[in-house]
Structure 1
Amino acid sequence: MNLVSDAWIPVRRRSGARDMIRPAQIVERVKDDPVVEVMWPRADFRNAFYEFLIGLLATACPPVDQRAWVAAWRRPPAVGELDAAFARIAHAFCLDGPGPRFLQDHAELDSGPEPVERLLIEAPGESTIKRNADLFVHRGQVTALGRPAAAMALFTLQSWAPSGGAGNMTGLRGGGPLMTLVLPSDGGSLWDVVWANVPCGVAVRDEDMETTFPWLAATHASGKGGVEVRMNVNASPQQCWWGMPRRIRLDFENTPDGVCDLTGMADTVLVRGWRQRPYGPKYAGWVGMPYGAGGTVHPLTPRYRQKAGAEWLAVHPQPGGVGYRHWAGVVVDSADANRLPASCVAVWRNERARDAGLSEDPRLLAAGFDMDNMKARSFVESEMPLPGTQDEDRQEVLDELARQCVAGAKMVADILRGSVRDALFGKSDVPIDATLLSDVRERFWTGTHDAFFALLHQAGCGDDTEADLRRRWLHRLARVAMDEFDAMVTFEPDMDIGQAQRSTLARRRLAAALAGTSTEGRKLMTELDIPAPPQKKRKTAGKDA
């Protein structure tokens, strides 16, 4: 099975019709009945498949510059054109059979078999099963995969590989990176989504095939005496799409009447197990390196550093998902330039949004595994509006307004959480990140989410001044914060006097901060660039008194 020339991708067209296509067919019938959705039954597969398609185009036939990108945006290539471009690299995309296999070790691996379900990132490992601790994600849910699902499980694991014990290396962006994508229009075609995020560049050269697709050559093993895989040293920059940190070989089994446990699709070849060896390639220094003229090495992942001059790291999902609180660093540069959005987002907002000529606001998709070392806590998938303006100067003003609003909201969220802790627990040693207090903060973010994007929309229309918008934003923050405090801290007739005093003082602290009359409040007003109310002079008793 070849992942370029065979039809293996389950999709839905705008008419509702289901189809199985090969990659080049994403432009088939793009005008009258385009492909609008991939029908993988798992969210991680769907999002990883975006990376697969974007990487395929970025490797085989990327736009050489912005003019070429605009041309293909307005007039997508024909199926035959994509087939011809993909044919040059098709030999690297054989999943099974003799010779090199897609994302599998170049050599046969001598090791015992692993059950196929352990290709899935959240599946319980051997230690968990031995301790009979697979309480929430049970063993034995998937015993056989058809080749399409096996290909996606393999690509997802290799691209997002978390830490997995001694010798099991993490992915090129670290374990469980955050992926961000621009969704250019509501209900747009799959081609629109993919092409909106493909970086400019040049197609892979024939002489770079082995350094782009690492399974075509002997593995750069890590461990004692091993070597690191570095860009432009022993790897092509385009290997960022095709990283292979794990040494894996799938075991294929001919099964005339086989059925995939995940998709329910029939296949004459199934994967029931796989083999692995430790100490696959160790990727080093990739996150801070440039990808052509497009920005970070992996155009779909934002990055950060602890301080200026420190090493750049890929952003990873955290509990609570991705929302407007992450605006600085996921959509725009942070004020200190230590958090940068993925280059696909930056390029869209700085160039492509204007050239695409869309009248509606695009959206931002953020997805990835929230990992606790080698344990998957959840899969995060969030969407939010990505508003902007056609005027470059106005866009800078809006971006600064957004930074201020998010920074102010973070201050209020922290003060709210601290006030609730003071009211409920006083001077006890209850940690500030306790679940109860974290939930208070999360509800605050949820309660102000819609107001944030409404404010940016109003700012883009230009009907209100920035000062008016900031005051309106503070009013919304205050209302949600006070409502949340009152919902958590209730005054009862039989309340202990000490608890009543704590609650009263805590509410007074929150109210003073939101009014700008306390030290915390003055800092909040400074952050939002709102004049603080004048301080009242304290009366002092004279000697005669």
Structure 2
Amino acid sequence: MPYNLITAPWLPVLRADNSEQWIAPAAINQDYENNPVMRLNAPRADFNAALMQFLIALLQTAHTPENNHAWRVYARKPPTAEQLGQWFEPLIPAFYLDGDNARFMQDLETLAGQAPLPISALLIDTMGSKTHFVKDFPKQGLHPYLAAMSLLTLQLNAPSGGAGHRTSLRGGGPLTTLVLTETPRPLWDNLWLNVLTQNEHWGDTDVAYTQIEEVFPWMQATRCSDKESTSPVTSTVDVHPLQVYWATPRRIYLDFPQTAAGNCALSGLESEQLVSQYRTKNYGANYEGWQHPFSPHSISPDNPPLCLHPNGAINYRHWMGLISEKPSKKNTVVRPARVVSAFASRTRQQTRLHLWASGYDLDNMKPRAWYESIFPLYAFADDEQGRKNKNEFYSAVNNMIIAASDFSSAIKTCLKEAWFEKGDPRLKKADMAFIDNAFWHDTEADFYQKLQQLYQADIQVQKREHWRRWHQQLVGYSLLQFDRWADCQQLLKQHNPKRIAKARQKLQKLFYSKNIKSVLDLAKNHVK
């Protein structure tokens, strides 16, 4: 019997009583009042992020609310599992994982002429790896449910994979930002926060569809992007707008005839059909010009929208660009994800939520790390005073981040001058990323504390006092870190007290640079 991802219990979840279950999508609201599903519980962080996007996309496709009123109906009273089953039922033909017809996120062709690859190659962090554990994967294989998660995660995040192996619709390893409740709430509440209304998402563009083949690209012949193709680029005018959620840049076909019984290498689940290999072919759909509702984008008049990508840890220095439109380079702005922008329009009072940011940090086709962070997300009343408070709040916070960035640069500059003599090439070449990462990590808790205080304050009256305290905290932290790292050179027999003292004096002067005094409005006669 074929596996179908609408009807099969393939989603690992955790309920309020901490019990672990595997459920079908419609069951996310089963027992909502007494023992609700609280969160996804996959064995990998990237799978959880992908499954979250899958469920939001499924809801968006099955039941786009017409307006904010229609959206609030299900925010207040979630649909039952039976209602969700009715919403999803028309989509069942598009979600078979195996069988002879269209398969979920797989090529319509069997790709029989291609050499099989081990199933481990679907996992982004094992691509090209030859470790002992990866070599063992072909023998063990994946349970079909885990194979589906791997396939989904790759199509959403696909890095460049050699000639013609296309990246995801958002490019390789996109940054995903989703809105979450501030306090733990059932999974439904977090999913529905990211479902957009007709107006929020498409405006006057009609997203109705008469046939599901319009929405799911794997139900039609692949839009190939090789030289012989008549449609080498897939843009927003070429296909149904809902395909933004279901893009399949990689041509993949899971090899179910080659399955065997055993335990899944990732989950330990027993299966009579462990998937151990798949086939792939290059020059699948080449997506250009799309703005995905889950990701922030860089927008410029001369270039197509560019999705942001993690480059190192995701921390509070990125916060402004994730929650509010922010000027970047000349004629370029960073625009937050549409799901982030939309939540504010639904809020009639001052409130606070969370923002979940996640994604792969990729070096071309090689993953460096998976990052995710939770940020505070603030909403303001939708009236004249609320909009004024919002602008003042963001302006005050942006100045705090600018000052912090200057402090981080000052520490790195002065530490190099403490470590190396003038003329030493390491003054320019030394990798100071670990100092930078430590700075943003160690000052993060104080930053968010200041944010909450500002949010609750009369910003116009009290922001200078908050800025002054923020400056004091940055000064104290920076001196502490300088002293800690400057003295480490004793271990390398490069310790030079005079050079260290001179660099420390320079650091103290940089604490009161023209830019820092300007953005934090420090008094000119402030004692250093």
TM-score above 0.5, yes or no: yes
Which of the numbers 467, 471, 496 marks the counterpart of 2:468? 471
Equivalent residue number for residue 188 of structure 2: 191
* Offset, 1:273: 0.5
Letter in 2 for 1:47: A
Q: Secondary structure at the match of 2:393?
A: helix
- Distance of 1:173 and 1:195 partners within structure 2: 22
Q: Write out aligned runs for 1:425-444 (5 A).
A: 425-427=420-422, 428-430=424-426, 434-435=430-431, 437-444=432-439
Q: Which moved more, 1:149-158 or 1:83-92?
A: 83-92
Equivalent residue number for residue 373 of structure 2: 382
Give the TM-score normalised by the residue count of structure 2.
Answer: 0.90
- Distance of 2:292 and 2:491 partners within structure 1: 59
Task: State whether residues 144 and 271 of structure 1, in contact with CA within 8 Å, keep that contact through their aligned partners in structure 2.
Answer: yes
Q: Write out aligned runs for 1:44-55 (5 A).
A: 44-55=46-57
Letter in 1 for 2:482: F
Which of the numbers 83, 91, 107 marks the counterpart of 1:81? 83
Equivalent residue number for residue 252 of structure 2: 248
Letter in 2 for 1:233: V
* Offset, 1:389: 4.4
Equivalent residue number for residue 328 of structure 1: 320
Change (3 A) 1:491 1:170: closer
Alignment pair present for 1:373 and 2:368: no
Q: Secondary structure at the match of 1:197?
A: coil
* Offset, 1:185: 2.9
Equivalent residue number for residue 453 of structure 2: 458
Runs of at least 5 residues in structure 2 that lack an aligned partner in the other structure: none
Equivalent residue number for residue 504 of structure 2: 507
- Distance of 2:380 and 2:483 partners within structure 1: 39
* Offset, 1:18: 2.2
* Offset, 1:472: 1.1
Letter in 1 for 2:118: P
Which of the numbers 277, 283, 292 marks the counterpart of 1:279? 283
* Offset, 1:140: 2.3
Equivalent residue number for residue 122 of structure 2: 119
Alignment pair present for 1:268 and 2:278: no
Letter in 1 for 2:123: L
Task: State whether residues 117 and 140 of structure 1, in contact with CA within 8 Å, keep that contact through their aligned partners in structure 2.
Answer: no
Change (3 A) 1:496 1:379: closer
Equivalent residue number for residue 400 of structure 1: 395
- Distance of 2:527 and 2:20 partners within structure 1: 67
Q: Could you list the per-position Cα deviations for residues 148-168 of structure 1 after superposition, in whole angstroms to 9, with x for gaps in the alignment?
A: 101110010011100011111
- Distance of 1:495 and 1:185 partners within structure 2: 47
* Offset, 1:68: 1.4
Q: Could you list the per-position Cα deviations for residues 71-105 of structure 1 after superposition, in whole angstroms to 9, with x for gaps in the alignment?
A: 11101111122111111221111111121001110
Q: Could you list the per-position Cα deviations for residues 294-342 of structure 1 after superposition, in whole angstroms to 9, with x for gaps in the alignment?
A: xxx311111125x6644421111112x1111101211222245611221
Q: Secondary structure at the match of 1:139?
A: helix
Query: How many residues of Structure 1 are paired with residues of Structure 2 in the alignment?
Result: 507
Letter in 1 for 2:333: N
Task: State whether residues 208 and 236 of structure 1, in contact with CA within 8 Å, keep that contact through their aligned partners in structure 2.
Answer: no
Task: State whether residues 332 and 340 of structure 1, in contact with CA within 8 Å, keep that contact through their aligned partners in structure 2.
Answer: yes
Task: State whether residues 288 and 304 of structure 2, in contact with CA within 8 Å, keep that contact through their aligned partners in structure 1.
Answer: no
Letter in 1 for 2:448: F
* Offset, 1:63: 1.7
Task: State whether residues 253 and 272 of structure 1, in contact with CA within 8 Å, keep that contact through their aligned partners in structure 2.
Answer: no
Equivalent residue number for residue 92 of structure 1: 94
Alignment pair present for 1:302 and 2:293: no
- Distance of 1:187 and 1:433 partners within structure 2: 45
Equivalent residue number for residue 215 of structure 1: 218
Change (3 A) 1:503 1:255: closer
Q: Could you list the per-position Cα deviations for residues 174-213 of structure 1 after superposition, in whole angstroms to 9, with x for gaps in the alignment?
A: 0010111122132211101111111222895444633421
Q: Secondary structure at the match of 1:465?
A: helix
Change (3 A) 1:276 1:256: closer
- Distance of 1:407 and 1:308 partners within structure 2: 26
* Offset, 1:238: 0.9
Identity %: 34
* Offset, 1:441: 1.7
Q: Could you list the per-position Cα deviations for residues 211-255 of structure 1 after superposition, in whole angstroms to 9, with x for gaps in the alignment?
A: 421111111111213223434432111111111011110011486
* Offset, 1:385: 2.6
Q: Secondary structure at the match of 1:268?
A: strand
Letter in 2 for 1:114: L
Task: State whether residues 364 and 384 of structure 1, in contact with CA within 8 Å, keep that contact through their aligned partners in structure 2.
Answer: yes
